């Protein structure tokens, strides 16, 4: 899986699930978007891509909301790599 630790991805997704309960769905979208931006800024694009793919497999409407939020916050190249780039 692109050299990404599945346990780390699971921890992030679980953390977002807990925040959904506490903050509501919009808060968790923002939290996950921040996490993806953090990984991109730390040059961990593969981790950001793995998180996005994991979300897509679990909840398509949530994935679409994250995509929409990140479209304005990432560079076009980063956005393209995470959401449309080849494996």
Domain contains 80: no
pLDDT of residue 1: 45
Domain contains 39: yes
Domain contains 43: yes
Tell me which of 71 and 30 has the higher pLDDT: 71
Domain contains 3: yes
Can you give the residue range of the structural domain that contains 60? 1-7+25-73
Domain contains 17: no
Closest CA to 62 of 40, 30, 35: 30
Q: Which of 10-14, 15-19, 41-45, 78-82 has the lowest mean pLDDT?
A: 15-19
Count of domains forming the chain: 1
Domain contains 68: yes
DSSP state of 43: T
What's the Cα-to-Cα distance from 18 to each of 2, 22, 83, rounded to whole Å? 26, 6, 24
Domain contains 51: yes
> Is pLDDT at 62 greater than 60 in this prediction?
yes
């Amino acid at each position: 899986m692109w050299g990404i630790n599945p346990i780390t991805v699971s921890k992030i997704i679980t953390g977002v699930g807990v925040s959904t309960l506490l903050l509501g769905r919009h808060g968790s979208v923002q939290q996950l978007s921040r996490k993806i931006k953090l990984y991109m800024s730390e040059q961990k694009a593969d981790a950001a891509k793995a998180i996005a793919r994991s979300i897509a497999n679990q909840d398509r409407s949530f994935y679409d909301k994250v995509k929409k939020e990140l479209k304005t916050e990432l560079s076009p190249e980063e956005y393209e790599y995470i959401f449309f780039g080849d494996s």
